[in-house]
Structure 1
Amino acid sequence: MIIGSDELENKELIAVSDGYRESEASWSEVLLSLKQRGLSIESKVAVGGGALGFWKALSKCWPTTRGQRCWFHKTANVLAKFPKAMQPKVKSALHEIWQSETKEEANKSMTNCVKLFEAKYPKAMRCLEKDREALLVFYDFSAEHWGHLRTSNPIESVFATVRLRTTKSKNCGSRVTTLAMVLKLMETAQKRWHRLRGYNLLADVITGVKFRDGIKQEQQDQDAA
């Protein structure tokens, strides 16, 4: 499932397809189909969890697209490696990272988090550290878009309803009828999606205007002057 936006800040479903265990081949088919349907500009940034098939397909089909790892998924993966009693403290430390005002501050917070927990929980901190760069990509885009870029939850929340319905109707229809049902469920959910914040900045993103810590570089330079 892939979500896009129109010029009036409305989010729209632009692709939905079945696939085999989120494989590279399945994701490549979806991404290439968008090009075949007329998508001429590659996405500037893609947000996703740890599905290796998606990232492999993305690097081949949309080689210029940057990857932002989902903080919701990463937080869940890291916390799963801690005892329950420790999880609230660790969660607070993780929140401090992505809530930082600048990428430099976020890097410092992540370094502090790793130093604090790596002695007793090395696997958890390796899980965090290995995606350091991909977790902080959002700082290179408009601050108005950060809430949309830090997590893939909009897609996950839609799929929660879809999974519930498809699980109940398992083996009750063909592949085509199941896909049609999924499409209708998503089109219904689409009506309740929040609008994209900062849609007026999309043109800047598409044309390659640089952002530093969420602010246009030219604006930042003017403020400094």
Structure 2
Amino acid sequence: MKIAPEGIVPIAAAVFMACGAWLISPVLGGIMGLCALFLAWFYREPHVDVPSDPQAFVSPADGKVVEVESTDIPFVGNSAKIGIFMTVADVHVNRIPYEGKISFLKYRKGKHLVAFAPKSSEINERLYTGLETKHGNVLLVQIAGLLARRIACRVKVDQFMAKGQAYGMIKFGSKVDVYLPPCVKPIVKIGDRVKAGSSVIGMVLEDEGSDIVEQKSS
């Protein structure tokens, strides 16, 4: 298991402060040391086994499925929207659901409501990532939550990405929405636990017409 690049600076700073605090007070140094260990744990980036099935779309985030519904948006068309909520305990590295090219990146300032709130997808701070795949367009939305105050992006427009490849992270509790192409049917339901890059959330149908099941969290 490795540390996410976004965590190197804060972890190093915490270790430095822990060493300095130890000279003043071993107790204070121990507390700061625990903070450094927490940061190292939070910024973990574990290896993932990406499914080889060419029909499978994988989860972009670790967490709990809180939303599955049909929608229609300009970049994707008639699609299935899957919302995944990440707690502080979940791995926060986000991954690409299917191989393709980054079409656009669009950042929007916003509020910091709890990420599972119904309107968080529309009014919270968020980053839109457009992905072009051979099965159609995918839209990924990283949404900052109550504790999450920074969305980190690792990709650039026109960059080609492999399925399961890390493309960014959101810090300290948040949500990711993924809009699947019209020919991809969701196979997860509300309440399911998923892992970024390894859990299959949708399968390509042989025909383009998909019966998208709408679900809403209670």
**Pairwise TM-score range, normalised by the shorter structure:** under 0.3
Structure in which a larger fraction of residues adopt helix:
1
Q: TM-score, normalised by structure 2?
A: 0.23
Q: TM-score, normalised by structure 1?
A: 0.23
